[in-house]
Structure 1
Amino acid sequence: NPTAVITGGDSGIGLELVNRLLEAQFHVIIGTRSRDLCSKAIEPYMVGMGRVTILELDLTSFDSVHTFAFKVVLEASEKIDLLINNAGVMNVPYSKTADGFESQCQINYLSPILLTQLLLPSMNPRGSRILFASSSTLYAINNLDTNMPFRSYTHNGLDHYAYSKSCIAHLAQHLSTIVPPDIKVYSYHPGTVRTKLFDHTTLFTFKLFSKLFDFIMLTPKEGSKTPLHLCLCEYLENGSSYWADNRPQTLMPVYVDNKLNDIRQLWEDTLIKLENFKPFYAIVFKWGF
């Protein structure tokens, strides 16, 4: 069976993706903070379908990312066909990870890049795909200050969220130009979907507004359409590596430290932020990035 690796596959869009990949007879390896909760969540989808492996993963810890990647390589009997960096958080109360970064920036941006690099040598060289969950909020920020992951906030964490999602979209596009040609890299906006992602957004805690948003927002099943298209469609339309509504979209230029569209600088700065993680650098050197 083909092998798919997904982070955050225990709820929301991630759970929908797991369900459909199992229907397609994938061996799905799920990275989750709680193996017990994940087992309960996916149990209804386990009858007569593909195979599931559940591994612990904490994206606030680079050590955990490394351990997860090592276990994935052991569990994947063949090369990996799909890597879906789905897990993410939004507007959570400020906290600094043990690695020294604001938590949204590490969970949504730094750890997915790290995981992707660690698993690149295990991707199927004859044809595989790497996906990153982004957001339309990337358009809300036009200057990517590389010091942002070190900055704190008191109440509003949405700027850090938008920053992390813009970084991941632009880095996905950069990565797509430097990996082997048969490994395709995409980022995607799933739409405005009613999931746990909004649990820390104040407006959604009011009953009246919550019911209104339930009515107008997409369901996780509806929100899974674009990433599923990227996962399962044999032939994908050429164009931007950033997708929404099942189509490639224009990724607008941004400034990086006040230099227009200097994504190479963002990439190199990301490597510097991860420089103490030696297994990561071993792979970077192996691939010549």
Structure 2
Amino acid sequence: MVGSKDLKPSNTPFFPNVFFYNQFRAKPQWPASNTNLSGKTAIITGGNTGLGYEAATQLLGLKLSHLVLAVRSLERGKTAAEQLLRTHPNATVDVWQLDMCSYDSIQGFTRRVDAELSRIDMVLLNAGLFKLDFAIVSSTGHNETLQVNYLSTMLLAILLLPTLKKKSSQEEPAHLTIVSAALTLNAKFPNRDANPLLPSFDDPKTFDPSEHYNSSKLLGHMFLWSLVDYVSADDVIVNLADPAWVKGTDIARDVKGGMKVGLKLFSLLGRTKQVGASCFIDALVNKGKESHGCFLMSWKIHPFNAYLYTPEGQAAIQRVWDETLTELEFAGVRAILDSMKA
């Protein structure tokens, strides 16, 4: 199989060219008309609003039997579940609490998944944020963008792997799709030479909203590069999916003033939520083992940021891997990964 890291780096010389093709020329790949997810179970983080909610709608439209919405606010999650059940009354929709700013909440959630779900077929790690202002998560000491978009997402992914391997169907491995962004291809990664690397995101003097967001997503690509050395596509298919620029989501809910007006105008160019979320459904339903370890953009396997293919990028990948496992070692992540590789 040829994955993203086996491809040649993109030679498109100007990122807006990449954006234009991805945004306006790529054609959606919808599931086949006879796709039937009856009997299957899915988890969506941040599934009560925006693209997560739309992805939930599309999975239930494919006759998904059991959906777990993993949300920070149980009240808003229950409201979303009620809305989903009005149009899909035969499904089971549960609402479980998950705070991506809390390592304790993430560990408790994954223990509940293992204890209460007899089957799990697909997980969409959709929860993410774009913060205009610098903020530190008090319980971890990390910048909130880094915490939610990268560290907590990778911890949740690792902790779910053994359960996904154990409780998927015998016919096919479970799918784990992490929401990414085409902007990773344009990430400048200005703190790439910091040593140690991850704490450099926690310095308010270097905070840049756009670059912190882009780089936080790029870290996910770097981690996946190494993760697939431990996880077989026969056990769990892990991939990244970009929805492109989508109008009507809450990703920039903290933006204010003139920037908010600019974003609203720019949103006129955005995809609909239906088309944006179809990228996730494609990754979860249409794509198979060939997508393991891949970045999916424009409904196709796409190369990573060109920096990752350089000697400097390879060294950075190893640093990110080592520092991340050290940060998350309290949860036994090394042992979990070793068990997946065995």
How high is the TM-score relative to the length of structure 1?
Answer: 0.88
CA contact (8 A) 2:188 2:211 kept: no
Contact 1:29/1:72 (<8 A) preserved: no
Q: For 1:153 and 1:54, locate their aligned partners in 2 and report how far apart those are by CA, in whole Å.
A: 39
Relative to structure 1, the CA distance from residue 189 to residue 91 in structure 2 (aligned partners, 3 Å threshold; closer, same or farther) is same
Judge conservation of contact 1:58–1:65 (CA < 8 Å) in 2. yes
Q: 1:15 aligns with which of 34, 53, 76?
A: 53
Q: Which residue of 1 aligns with 2:231?
A: 179
Q: Distance in 2 between matches of 1:105 and 1:55?
A: 23
Whole-angstrom CA distance in 2 between matches of 1:169 and 1:131: 12
The whole-number CA distance in structure 1 between the counterparts of 2:332 and 2:104 is: 10
- Number of residue pairs aligned between Structure 1 and Structure 2: 284
Counterparts of 1:201 and 1:139, CA distance in 2: 23
What is the aligned counterpart of 2:150 among 109, 116, 133?
109
Matches within 5 A, 1:171-250: 171-182=223-234, 183-194=236-247, 195-202=249-256, 203-206=258-261, 209=262, 211-233=264-286, 235=288, 241-250=294-303
Question: Is contact 2:43-2:67 (8 Å) kept?
Answer: yes
Which residue, out of 175, 181, 197, partners 1:129? 175
Q: How far apart, CA to CA, are the structure 2 residues paired with 1:239 and 1:35?
A: 32
Instruction: Give CA-to-partner distance per residue, 1:127-168, whole Å, 9 cap, x none.
Output: 111111111221233444523333225874222111110011
Q: Is the 8 A contact 2:238 2:292 kept in 1?
A: no
User: Which of 233-242 and 51-60 deviates more?
Assistant: 233-242
* Aligned equivalents of 1:110, 1:174: Cα separation in 2: 15
Q: What amino acid is the match of 1:108? A: N
Residues 186-212 of structure 1 show CA distances to partners (whole Å, capped at 9, x for unaligned) of 111111012111223344522xx4552
User: Which residue of structure 2 aligns with residue 66 of structure 1?
Assistant: 107
Q: Which runs of 5+ in 2 are unaligned?
A: 1-38, 167-171
Question: Quick one: which of 94, 106, 120 aligns to 2:134?
Answer: 94
User: 1:85 is matched with which residue: 125, 134, 144?
Assistant: 125
Match of 1:274 among 309, 328, 333: 328
Whole-angstrom CA distance in 2 between matches of 1:30 and 1:238: 25
Dislocated runs of 4+, deviation >6 Å: none
Q: Deviations over 1:218-245 (max 9, x none)?
A: 2221211111111111657659700111
SS at match of 1:52: strand
Deviates more, 1:68-77 or 1:4-13: 68-77
Q: For residue 111 of structure 1, report the CA deviation from its aligned partner.
A: 0.6
Shift in CA distance, 210/99, structure 1 to aligned 2, threshold 3 Å: closer
* Alignment-mate amino acid for residue 20 of structure 1: Q
Tell whether the 8 Å contact from 2:233 to 2:289 is kept in structure 1 after alignment. Answer: no
**Partner in structure 1 of residue 79 of structure 2:** 40
Once the two structures are superposed, residues 173-194 of structure 1 have per-residue CA deviations (whole angstroms, 9 ceiling, x without a partner) of 3323320232211111111012
- Superimposed CA distance per residue, residues 41-61 of structure 1 (whole angstroms, 9 cap, x where no aligned partner): 232221324211211111111
Which structure has the highest helix share of the two? 2
Shift of 1:121: 0.7
One of 291, 312, 315 as aligned partner of 1:259 = 312
- 1:95 counterpart letter in structure 2: A
Pairwise CA distance, 1:16: 0.7
Is 1:191–1:223's contact at 8 Å kept on the other side of the alignment?
Answer: yes
Q: Does structure 1 conserve the Cα–Cα contact (< 8 Å) formed by 2:230 and 2:341?
A: no
RMSD (Å), alpha carbons: 2.5
**3-state DSSP class of the match of 2:44?**
strand
Cα separation, 2, equivalents of 1:284 and 1:74: 20
Of 193-202 and 80-89, more deviation after overlay is shown by: 193-202
Q: Runs of 5+ in structure 1 lacking a partner?
A: none
Deviations 1:58-116 (A, max 9, x none): 111111110111112222112x2112110000024211111111111010011111011
How many Å apart are 1:264 and its aligned residue?
2.8
